[in-house]
Amino acid sequence: MTRKRASGVALLAFVMALAGCSEGSAPDAAPPVLRLGYFANVTHAPAIVALEQGFLAEALGPEVKLELRTFNAGPEAVEAIFSDALDISYMGPNPAINAFAQSGGEAIRIVAGATSGGAALVVRPTITTPAQLKGSKLATPQRGNTQDVALRAWLKEEGLASDLEGGGDVSILPQANAQTLETFRGGEIQGAWVPEPWATRLVLEGGGSVLVDERTLWPDGRFVTTHVMVRTAFLKERPEIVASFLRAHVRAIDFLNAEPTRAREIVNAGIGRLTGKALPAAVIERAWATLTFTVDPIAASLRKSAEDATAVGLLDAVKLDGIYDLAPLNAILTAAGKPPVSD
């Protein structure tokens, strides 16, 4: 073979190699990404355990890049979902309902439950009846979030008016949970309906007392506090990543229920890394006792929350048909010999 011909063959081979790369997966193609949202609350313990114990990293494998974002309340996470900046998020029921309604049932799906319980109305010790709340200021994490809806619905049932502008018999002031602790200590508000560990912190660090443990308002004390919401497009485009995530999520729930003491320590350490300070032992122990961890989304409580949001003017009447896609979770549960969950 002449030098000229050899050079031509080498060039042809090089071009074909390039063509092969372009037709298949390029060596330098960006790896798939999972962008996960969660909160630095004990009600998001399944997320923290899955991350701190390495369950999620193991399930995803090295080929999937994991990006994390933390939020103060669900509406912030919904905004990230809507802007295609987030793929999966732990959050409460009402932001998920709002996301489903605002998008005409297109943008999101709920794929698993996570936590039940862990929310309360904490007030000044001198307030012992609902009637004494008239003229008071109460805080919630964010307007339209799960605790905000719960407070407004409960006030209405007790004959106390509130409106979305902060007026009425009781003024509702949405603010970040950390700020709520300070404003409660400073006497600027008389109470707050908040998730754990903030309810416990208002009691132990703010000198408050529990007027309403939300568990007392639900059948068998079970209601969804936190579940897992997925961007619908991501569920369709990356079902294998969603399945991997759910395997880690189920494993985290099992760990939380099998080893509660160790899990509590892990969650507290995770909260410390996120916020710069772990919770005092007394706080997390008291908060932990109010929680139940389950993959069951407790769908009936979601529908009741939607009715409550409509009743207080935060949501137009909405049909929730299609908000759940539990097939991926149930496939994992069935394979593990566990009972499926339903919507």
Kindly report, residue by residue over 79-106, the tens digit of the pLDDT.
Answer: 999 999 999 999 989 889 999 999 999 9
Please indicate, yes or no, if residue 2 is contained in any of the structural domains: no
Residue at which a domain ends, from 162, 194, 220: 220
pLDDT at 23: 41
Contact residues for 322 (Cβ-Cβ < 8 A; gap 6+): 105, 109
Stretch 107-124: mean pLDDT: 97
Instruction: State the residue range of the domain holding 57.
Output: 33-117+223-335
In this structure, are 175 and 246 located in the same domain? no
Q: Final residue of a domain: which of 177, 199, 220?
A: 220
Residue type, 285: E
Establish if 12 belongs to a structural domain.
no
Write down the pLDDT at residue 229.
97
Q: Which helix (H) or strand (E) holds 169?
A: none
Q: Do 213 and 291 reside in the same domain of the chain? A: no
Residue 24 lies in a domain: no
- Same-domain check for residues 123 and 216: yes
Contact of 223 with 154, CB cutoff 8 Å: no
Q: Cβ contacts of residue 242 below 8 Å, gap of 6+? A: 88, 111, 230, 234, 235, 328
Domain final residue pick, 200, 220, 240: 220
DSSP letters, 56-79, are: HHHHH-TTSEEEEEE-SSHHHHHH
Identify whether 21 is part of a domain.
no
The C-alpha angle with vertex 211 and arms to 207 and 214, in degrees rounded to 5, equals 120
Task: Note the pLDDT of residue 315.
Answer: 87
pLDDT average, residue stretch 314-334 = 95
Q: What is the pLDDT of residues 218-248, one digit of tens each?
A: 999 999 999 999 999 999 999 999 999 999 9
Give the tens place of pLDDT for each residue, 206-226.
999 999 999 999 999 999 999
3-state secondary structure of 310: helix
pLDDT tens digits, one per residue of 262-302: 999 999 999 999 999 999 999 999 999 999 999 999 999 99
| Predicted confidence (pLDDT) per residue in 141-194, tens digit | 989 888 999 999 999 999 999 999 999 999 999 999 999 999 999 999 999 999
Q: Percent of the chain having pLDDT more than 70? A: 92
The three-class DSSP label of residue 217 is helix
Q: Which residues of 227-240 are buried (b: 16+ CB within 10 A; e: fewer)?
A: bbbbbbebbeebee
pTM (two decimals): 0.84
The full length of the chain comes to 343
* Cβ-based burial of 317 (10 A; exposed 0-12, middle 13-18, buried ≥19): exposed
Q: Is residue 246 part of a domain?
A: yes
Measure Cα distances from 182 to 39, 176, 179, 188 in Å.
19, 10, 5, 9
pLDDT band at 76 (very low <50, low <70, confident <90, very high): confident
Q: Which residues pair with 129 in a beta bridge?
A: none
d(CA 340, CA 343): 10
Instruction: Please check whether residues 250 and 306 belong to one and the same domain.
Output: yes
| CATH code where residue 188 lies | 3.40.190.10
- Split at pLDDT 50, 70, 90, the class of 28 is low
Which is more confident, 98 or 25? Answer: 98
Assess whether 112 and 123 both reside in one domain. no
Cα 203 from Cα 197, distance rounded (Å): 10
Domain count, the chain: 2
Supply the mean pLDDT for the chain.
Answer: 91
